[in-house]
Structure 1
């Protein structure tokens, strides 16, 4: 009969009741003067108290869990331990699969100019997936750097958009390759992706309550996938993020919510909050508090400032985000630091961003290098 079983407690309770009834029946017979009747009465009281105390102690042990077995109560080893492995499963699916290489007009072999891989990322945490590209610097393939790990910059295009725009329109691999070959920036892995992880829905890199966990994909699944496949740095703050428009909002959000990984981020013509419309649906389940948490300016004004370096770009004419950008930058408090890239004129378009990216990549390299 187990120490904590209900049956044991019930038996003790019945015994205590039976003893009490028996004591009441025997008490008159123990009446009288002399040592023998006195000893009998003391014995009856002791038996009654022992029965009641046993019930109380067992009930207290069942409630508070002091001992779970008789062996534990008596101070003996309660059980033997053994590891029982689960059933053998199939081969684990890799989070990142290289589908081949993309020709983007780099000036030389991969050992000289680097290489662009076509990749597919499957998120084991979020269950989401997307395709994209990864630029690997020439040093990644050079024997003298065979054991070296490289910083990573996640580049995110706007919404709606396709990852290939980062190659064909903004020419990030081409710009990075030329700058690395000229030793203007350090060898760095660039991951080129889009912000949407769900077809026909703009999730704004947000974990939607009861819906797609887009921030989880970018914050957990993507770093896991890249680190599993490539020699990516795992040093604190050694990753960066950059994006234009919605991608800029995502890049800033990644750094502000995960400063241990992302030491710096840049948002080009970025939004600072997720606009809800027919393409986004309800991102916050009607919660004002959750909406505020996803408003980047609100975070700087009301939450502890993250230890990150941020860059935001805008134009004095031709952009709706000029005043919001100034407000965002003004809200920053140390250790957060915001650098502004302000143009006299420009627009929310590829031409403007194409001119900004070379400057921004050098800025990211400098900020990430300062964290080594």
Structure 2
């Protein structure tokens, strides 16, 4: 059974309730002596494992940390494994189609890191005869860290929500591209061109973008490319816009942070340079002249306090909102409550897509 299957969560959750109740019922009826005490100890341990497992599975589905059992035991697909397309869209094509392409990572070391899979979603209109010559606007969608393209795709119910927005006429048909962020697993590169290391920003802004334009009918104009991301992906989306304005015209940061992180998961990303760190922080970049039109939508919950990445909090968002005050094009969508998870932010996807249309990116 799939690690992210809701059925698995329900089964383990139910066992986490049923087994302790059963243990209480039979506690005094079992054998005595050392054997009886050992059996009761095993029962207590099983109850604890089930409780921890139920919470862990639920949290994993909410945050998208792992998508397979292999990743849990260290066989991470983030380093170049194939993306599993099973179940991402209905087989009848009613919610479009999904494909994968592989793209070379600039600056990556080792044969496994040379090429990584990228998930591409095509709307059902893509294959219609009347659109055979149409160039489609393209949205780059970036997952959190650690996470995967398919976790982001599933967590936001992307195919269903994007299809509904297109079918209702709220947005035009568009292509969506889901590249992985973990291009140097298990390191968190923060979408940075690391001195002497992987060129994570170039991978997104140039490598992935160029390959999508080459292989699909993607409009090559930067005015028709935008980005949207969750958590670390939200940070990267904002950074891509502010550092690559000719390649991207708009960005949506959902539950993101705005200052470059450095911790045990990232290592030294900036070679000790404070200036380089600033140049990779949206909260610094947004104030650099000239302060021209910047189509950035900041989506955040006022009760979001991401314990996994302490910078991703509403306080950080508030600082970015203050820093960008008066800059044309910056908009906010603030939720009154909700934690740092898919359940909180999934409903904001349709509004984000409509905003991207309003600013001309879709």
The normalised TM-score by structure 2 is 0.69
The question of whether the paired residues in 2 share the 8 Å contact of 1:102 and 1:118 is answered with: no
Question: Does the 8 A contact of 1:316 with 1:343 survive in 2?
Answer: yes
Runs (5+) with no aligned partner, structure 2: 1-81, 306-311
Look up the match of 2:183.
197
Q: Could you state the TM-score of these two structures normalised by the residue count of structure 1?
A: 0.68
1:150-199 CA-to-partner distances (Å, cap 9, x unmatched) read 00000011000011112222111221122212222100000112322111
Q: Of the two structures, which has the highest relative contact order with CA contacts closer than 8 Å and spacing of 6 or more?
A: 2
Pairwise CA distance, 1:148 = 0.7
Q: CA deviation at 1:134?
A: 0.8
2:188 aligned with 1:188, yes or no?
Answer: no
Matches within 5 A, 1:285-324: 285-319=271-305, 321-324=313-316
C-alpha distance in structure 2 between counterparts of 1:286 and 1:165, whole Å: 33
The structure 1 residue matched to 2:103, chosen from 116, 121, 127, is 121
Q: Give the structure 2 partner of residue 104 of structure 1.
A: 88
Secondary structure at 1:118's aligned position in 2? Answer: strand
Q: How does 1:1-372 map to 2 (within 5 A)?
A: 102-106=86-90, 109-110=92-93, 113-123=95-105, 128-319=114-305, 321-332=313-324, 336-369=328-361
**Cα shift readout 1:220-278 (whole Å, capped 9, x = no counterpart):** 10111101100100224210100011000011111111112211101111111221111
Change (3 A) 1:170 1:156: same
Indicate if the aligned counterparts of 1:103 and 1:116 stay in contact, CA closer than 8 A.
no
Deviation, structure 1 residue 102:
4.7
CA RMSD, aligned part only? 2.3
**Which of these two proteins has the greater Rg computed from alpha carbons?**
1
Answer whether contact 1:125 1:217 (CA < 8 A) is retained. Answer: no
Unaligned 5+ residue runs, structure 1? Answer: 1-97
Q: Cα offset for 1:125?
A: 7.6
**How far off its partner does 1:294 sit?**
1.1
1:200/1:182 CA distance change after superposition, 3 Å: same
Q: How many residues align?
A: 271
CA deviation digits over 1:69-110, x for unaligned, max 9? xxxxxxxxxxxxxxxxxxxxxxxxxxxxx989654244x744
What CA distance in whole angstroms lies between the structure 2 residues aligned with 1:291 and 1:140?
40
